[in-house]
Structure 1
Amino acid sequence: MTTLLKINSSLFAGNGQSSQLTDKFVAAWTKANPQTEVKVRDLAAEPVPHLDGERFGAFLAKPEDRNAEQQAVIDFSDALINELRSADAIVLGLPMYNFGIPSTLKAYFDHIARAGVTFRYTENGPVGLLTGKKVYVLAARGGMYAGTARDSQTSYVRDFLGFLGMTDVEFVYAEGLAMGDAPKQEALTNAGAVIRQLAEPLRSAA
């Protein structure tokens, strides 16, 4: 049994273009791998609280010194991390808002980056602890940004995931979605074709 974690970060939940791409990916994946358990984390339907001083203080507090509110923050963070840890692969729907990632996704990232839990510092530098996972990032953009200086998402998301040990990351781009119906349909069609190609090795190995 393979576990696939689908993370949607669109403000429009399942109606967002990036979320629809993750749906296509899940359909292709499960066709190639029928013995798959799919888990869903929708950051619009179930927002992760943004990090503030009190929540960060809970991460810093020693277990024996935590109060009930701090322990609740830790329990919430642990649940998100355990969800990631149990997944064999992750598919992330990534819209672009004002040249960056959704703030809800940043809040999610802030709750899964925990020293001693998902990464640790050593004398040779940081070491990620969430290893052995494949991540597929489905990026939906209104304009054309991949490969340009305005694409702040790709390097940031790749670096963040790599910091936690997830270094096998594949990006699929659907760009120009706000540039007219024809470019939009072409971009979605091309992204769908790439998604199907990504599932082919899985089908042949099944």
Structure 2
Amino acid sequence: MISLLHIDGSARTGRSGEDSHGSHTRRLGARFVARWRRRRPDDHVAYRDVGQAPPAPVDGRWIHAAFTPPAQRAPWMTARLAESDALVDELLASDLIVAGVPMYNFGMPAQVKAWIDNVVRVGRTFGFDRARDGAPYWPLLAGQGRRAVLLGARGDHGYDAGGRHAADNHVERGVMTPLRYLGIEVFDCVAVEYDEFADARLAASIAAAEAAVDALVDRLATEADAREAAAASATA
């Protein structure tokens, strides 16, 4: 089975098309998960709403605790890392991360950045050793087949590669770079644009994004079905 981790990062509470001032990324994430459940009803889906319940940002005490070897941690250190440990556990238990990450001022929301800072953990998601030949750090999630889907929303348009604002888009790169550092290498991205225009172009962008989400779910679910069929045949 596939373990899917669904993350909502929007500060908006509702979904566009259903709620006044609703979130496009929540709309796309819900659509992805609903279609995935129809295709693969036995898969496990975990949900984390960092938009409404942001993780505590990293501070000096967090850093002190995280870089203290577990056997040497004082009780306050363990307590300070408890939320981070829960977030890391969710990430490690997942095969597919589906994250709604809207663009806020050309980058990701602060609450999504707080999630990233809490899951980039020495000894848990990346290794660090100054005595190691070459780079002192290495990914601990590499080679495990984990992948991520990033579902975005932008007020303007032209933020994809080759577009008029491509150089100003720090959302997808900002998420993918730290996740690649951990060893997650495969990403798919879908985004709604033209939100600030609120006209036919927005409607067309939403329709195109929903079609892209549907096609992506079908492709990934078909690939998962094929892997499971091959594994079953190999053990038969």
> Structure 1 length normalisation: TM-score?
0.92
| Structure 1 Cα separation of the partners of residues 210 and 152 of structure 2 | 12
Secondary structure of the 1:90 match is strand
C-alpha separation in 1, matches of 2:24 and 2:168? 20
1:197 corresponding residue in structure 2: 215
State, as a whole percentage, how many aligned pairs show the same letter.
Answer: 33
Deviation at 1:154, TM superposition (A): 2.0
Post-superposition Cα deviations, 1:95-134, rounded to whole Å, max 9, x if no partner, equal 0111111111111111111122101245343422223212
Deviations 1:52-93 (A, max 9, x none): 112221112232432322111222211111111111111000
Separation (CA, whole Å) in 2 of partners of 1:150 and 1:84: 29
Q: How many residues are matched?
A: 206
Does the 8 Å CA contact 2:55/2:83 hold for their aligned counterparts? no
User: Residues 19 and 133 (structure 1 numbering): CA distance in 2 closer, same or farther, change over 3 Å?
Assistant: same
Look up the match of 2:149: 136
Match status 1:157 vs 2:157? no
Give the number of the structure whose residues are more often strand, by fraction.
1
Q: Distance in 2 between matches of 1:24 and 1:74?
A: 33
Shift of 1:203: 4.7
Residues 136-188 of structure 1, C-alpha deviations (whole Å, 9 max, x = no match) = 00011111222211011122212111111110111112111111221111111
Between 144-153 and 161-170, the greater mean CA deviation after superposition: 144-153
Within 5 A, what are the aligned runs for 1:119-130? 119-121=126-128, 122-125=132-135, 126-130=137-141
Matches of 1:193 and 1:167, distance apart in 2: 24
CA offset at residue 14 of structure 1? 4.4
Answer yes or no: is 1:24 the counterpart of 2:31.
yes
Offset of residue 202 of structure 1: 4.1
Question: Could you tell me which amino acid in structure 2 is paired with residue 123 of structure 1?
Answer: D
Residue type of the partner of 2:116?
A: F
Are the counterparts in 2 of residues 33 and 202 from structure 1 also a CA contact under 8 Å? no
C-alpha distance 203-48 of structure 1, shift in aligned 2 (>3 A): closer
For the Cα contact (< 8 Å) 2:10–2:26, is it kept in 1?
yes
State the SS of the aligned residue for 1:117.
coil
1:11 aligns to what? 11
> What SS does the aligned partner of 2:151 have?
strand
Query: C-alpha offsets along residues 9-50 of structure 1, whole Å, 9 cap, x if unaligned?
Result: 101144421111100111121222121221100013322001
What is the correspondence of 1:72-83 to structure 2 with a 5 Å cutoff? Answer: 72-83=79-90
SS in 2 for 1:152: coil
Contact 1:51–1:110, Cα closer than 8 Å, also in 2: yes
**Equivalents in 2 of 1:134, 1:78: separation in Å?**
20
CA radius of gyration, larger in: 2
Of 18, 24, 44, 1:37 maps to 44
Q: Secondary structure at the match of 2:152?
A: strand
Question: Could you tell which deviates more after superposition, 106-115 or 122-131?
Answer: 122-131
2:177 and 2:89 map into 1 onto residues whose CA distance is 21
Asked whether the equivalents of residues 28 and 210 of structure 2 are also in contact (C-alpha less than 8 Å), the reply is yes
Distance 1:98 1:172 in 2: 18
What is the CA–CA distance in structure 1 between the aligned matches of 2:2 and 2:208, rounded to whole Å? Answer: 27
TM-score, with length taken from structure 2:
0.81
Question: Aligned partner of 2:189: which letter?
Answer: F
Give the counterpart letter for 1:142 in structure 2: G
